[in-house]
């Protein structure tokens, strides 16, 4: 059943034309000193590995690591696995909720 579920998820991802995220095609290579990384760095490495090598969707990664979808997308953009498509990524948003917007 697990194999069938994975196949269906990959099929949905392939046929999903609503996703505006653009992968860069960059491959992830596990760090040699992975065991020495702290928990946060290991989580980032796991997110990148699941996205780049295992081809998991952002939703599946977020569910697996119990993270918000936006946090997964932010990690993938910072690490270069997704293209940053914002028109002005460093400009604060007027009235935004982030501490950098105020």
pLDDT in tens, 14-46: 666 556 777 777 888 888 888 899 999 999 999
- 82 phi and psi, to 5 degrees? -125, 145
Query: Average pLDDT for residues 49-57, to the nearest whole number?
Result: 90
Range of weakest confidence among 5-9, 50-54, 67-71, 89-93: 89-93
Residues of the chain with pLDDT > 70, as a percent, come to 75
pTM (predicted TM-score): 0.64
The span from the CA of 46 to the CA of 91, in Å, is 29
The residues, any chain, with a CB within 8 Å of residue 42's CB and separated by 6 or more, are 34
Do 82 and 89 touch, CB atoms closer than 8 A?
no
State mean pLDDT over 61-84.
89
Rounded Cα distance between 65 and 30, Å, is: 18
- Class of residue 67 by CB neighbours under 10 A (exposed 0-12, middle 13-18, buried 19+): middle
CA angle 30/34/36 to nearest 5° reads 165
Report which of 43, 47, 13 is spatially closest to residue 28, judged by C-alpha positions: 47
């Amino acid at each position: 059943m697990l194999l069938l579920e994975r196949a269906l998820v990959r099929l949905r991802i392939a046929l999903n034309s609503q996703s505006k995220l653009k992968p860069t095609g960059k491959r992830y290579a596990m760090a040699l000193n992975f065991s020495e990384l702290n928990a946060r760095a290991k989580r980032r490495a796991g997110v990148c590995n699941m996205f780049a090598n295992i081809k998991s969707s952002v939703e599946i990664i977020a569910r697996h690591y119990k993270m918000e979808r936006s946090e997964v997308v932010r990690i993938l953009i910072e690490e270069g696995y997704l293209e940053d498509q914002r028109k002005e990524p460093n400009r604060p948003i007027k009235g935004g909720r982030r501490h950098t917007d105020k």
